[in-house]
Amino acid sequence: MTKPLHPCMRRTLAAGELAIVEHCSCRAAHVTIGVITSRLAAGALAAVAAPLDEAARTLARDVACHILEHEDNGMMRPNRLVR
């Protein structure tokens, strides 16, 4: 594999315990979650962030309201008591 002529220069936009988002000199957003990095067009970052934010809020609400519960295998299933 050949090295690029001009290496990318990245600036961290946000970082957390499991993820980091960087803006790159190649004009892409690099989103790393664990060991996986996705290179997105800078404009696509908001389109990806919005459903992730919504999902996180919904999951937090569902868990807080006991709509979902953990099974022994770590998976989640609907709580049978919720109607």
Minimal CA–CA distance to 38: which of 12, 19, 59? 19
The pLDDT score that the predictor gives to residue 83 is: 42
Question: Does 78 reside within a domain?
Answer: yes
Q: Within this chain, do residues 38 and 57 fall inside the same structural domain, yes or no?
A: no
Question: Does 1 reside within a domain?
Answer: no
Question: Do 19 and 12 contact (CB within 8 A), yes or no?
Answer: no
| Top-confidence residue, 67 or 51 | 51
pTM score of the predicted model:
0.66
Residue 78 CB contacts under 8 Å (≥ 6 apart), including other chains = 67, 68
Residue range 8-41, pLDDT digits in tens = 899 999 999 999 999 999 999 999 999 999 999 9
Question: Does 17 reside within a domain?
Answer: yes
Q: Calculate the alpha carbon distances from 54 to 3, 17, 18, 35, 59 in Å.
A: 39, 19, 18, 23, 9
Which range marks the domain in which residue 67 is found?
46-83
Q: What is the domain count for the chain? A: 2
